[in-house]
């Protein structure tokens, strides 16, 4: 079995890669930092991966994505699971979020996963089926302070990938929407701050989040069971259910959430 993971240089992507390595998968790793990918690849080999290949790429650049997909497919002559996990967040309010920042976030979080999925889809169908997993967020279920572009990108993923599943389920395509709440990763450190600068701070909520190795176990298990969606986190996940059944209350609570 072969799995391709984007955003594999740290956090959820790295942890899931190590989990798949323990299960003996062939693994393809993609992220921006080639040096970090080499380290993750070495750790995957040590953990028991059948084979590992690093394919560095910056997903903010749309022009090379189709070629990247063909490269990934040809590494082991097919891909069983693609986990579209790469993403970038923000820590700016609406007034301080430039259109340039919005477009960067949408490019990485939404357009890149869409381009990869659209390119790999016919390959998977021809091969008899495949599994596409994509990292969304509870911020894709309701608006959240200081996340206007990030939340928008995650909302958009739901619309696209739920549609993809509806259209291609009978052709052997399975989709899992991975919806994290607070998981202890570096996403807040790398988030875009005012002026497009790196936020560089570990948010208290993030720091107290679910351990990333536990998140990876839940994600890999959910994909194996072909679950439509999996919520990953702690008590904050209650907001998803509040939004579903009490949307007015959810809106009031969201206004009171400490955004950091």
Place of tokens 């990333």: 212
pLDDT for 16 equals 98
Neighbours of 257 (CB within 10 A): 14
pLDDT for 259 equals 56
Average pLDDT, the chain: 93
Q: What is the pTM of this model?
A: 0.94
Neighbours of 224 (CB within 10 A): 12
Backbone angles phi, psi at 176, to 5 degrees: -125, 120
pLDDT for 209 equals 85
pLDDT in tens, 204-252: 777 788 999 999 999 999 999 999 999 999 998 998 998 889 889 888 8
Q: Residues of 48-57 as b/e, b for ≥16 C-beta within 10 angstroms?
A: ebbebbbbbb
pLDDT in tens, 70-102: 999 999 999 999 999 999 999 999 999 999 999
Q: Tell me which residues are annotated as active site.
A: 150
Neighbours of 96 (CB within 10 A): 14
Q: List the structure tokens of 204.
A: 């208290």
d(CA 42, CA 179): 28
Q: List the structure tokens of 71.
A: 């490269």
Neighbours of 71 (CB within 10 A): 15
d(CA 7, CA 107): 14
Q: Which of helix, strand or coil describes residue 158? A: helix
Average pLDDT over residues 177-199: 84
The DSSP H or E segment spanning 240 is: helix 238-245
- The domains located in the chain, with CATH, are 2-256 (3.40.50.720)
């Amino acid at each position: 079995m072969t799995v391709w993971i984007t955003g594999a240089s740290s956090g959820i992507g790295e942890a899931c890669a190590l989990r798949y390595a323990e299960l003996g998968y062939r693994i393809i790793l993609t992220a921006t930092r080639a040096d970090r990918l080499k380290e993750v690849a070495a750790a995957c080999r040590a953990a028991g991966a059948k084979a590992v290949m690093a394919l560095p790429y910056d997903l903010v650049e749309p022009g090379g994505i189709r070629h990247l997909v063909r490269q990934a497919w040809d590494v082991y002559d097919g891909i069983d699971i693609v986990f579209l996990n790469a993403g970038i967040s923000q820590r700016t309010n609406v007034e301080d979020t430039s259109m340039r920042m919005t477009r960067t976030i949408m490019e990485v979080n939404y357009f890149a996963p869409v381009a990869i999925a659209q390119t790999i889809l016919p390959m998977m169908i021809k091969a008899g089926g495949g599994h596409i997993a994509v990292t969304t967020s509870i911020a894709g279920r309701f608006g959240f302070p200081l996340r206007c572009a990030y939340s928008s990108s995650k909302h958009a993923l739901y619309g696209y990938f739920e549609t993809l599943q509806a259209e291609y389920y009978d052709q052997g395509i399975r989709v899992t929407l991975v919806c994290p709440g607070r998981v202890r990763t570096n996403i807040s450190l790398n988030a875009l701050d005012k002026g497009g600068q790196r936020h560089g701070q570990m948010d208290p909520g993030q720091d107290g989040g679910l351990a990333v190795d536990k998140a990876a176990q839940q994600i890999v298990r959910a994909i194996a069971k072909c679950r439509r969606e999996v919520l990953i986190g702690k008590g904050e996940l209650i907001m998803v259910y509040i939004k579903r059944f009490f949307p007015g209350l959810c809106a009031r609570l969201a206004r009171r959430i400490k955004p950091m």
